[in-house]
Amino acid sequence: MTGKTVRKCIVLNNLDLTSKKSEVLDRFTSEYMRVLDAHLLQLPLADSSVNLHHLTYSGIRKTSFLPSDIVQEARKDAWKQGKYFEGNGFTKGTDFKRCSIRLNKRWFRFIKTDRGNPCFKITYSPRKSYVIPVQTDRQYERFNSFLNDGWTFDNISLLSDGKISIVLEKEFPEQEIGQRYVIGIDIGSSTLAAVTVFDSLEGRVVRQLYFGRDVAKHQRRFIKRRAYLKSLADKGSRRAKKSLRKLRNNQRNFVKTRSGQVAKEIINLAKSYDAYISVEKLKNVRGKKGKFNRKANQKIGKIPYGKFNQFLKSNCEMFRIPLHEVDAYHTSRWCSRCGAVNKGHSSMNYALYKCKSCGQTVNSDKKASLAVAVKSLLERNKTHSLTNLGSIQISSRRVPVNALLRSDVVGNVVAVQHDYQPMESSLR
Choice between 205 and 355, CB closer to Zn ion: 355
Nearest approach, Cβ of 18 to Zn ion (angstroms)? 50
Choice between 264 and 337, CB closer to Zn ion: 337
Choice between 194 and 355, CB closer to Zn ion: 355
Nearest approach, Cβ of 196 to Zn ion (angstroms)? 17
Choice between 156 and 335, CB closer to Zn ion: 335
Nearest approach, Cβ of 353 to Zn ion (angstroms)? 9
Nearest approach, Cβ of 186 to Zn ion (angstroms)? 18
Which residues of the shown chain bind Zn ion in the complex (CB under 5 A)?
A: 335, 337-338, 340, 355, 357-358, 360
Choice between 354 and 380, CB closer to Zn ion: 354
Separation of alpha carbons 164 and 25, rounded Å: 12
Nearest approach, Cβ of 403 to Zn ion (angstroms)? 11
Nearest approach, Cβ of 354 to Zn ion (angstroms)? 9
Nearest approach, Cβ of 373 to Zn ion (angstroms)? 17
Choice between 6 and 358, CB closer to Zn ion: 358
Choice between 41 and 341, CB closer to Zn ion: 341
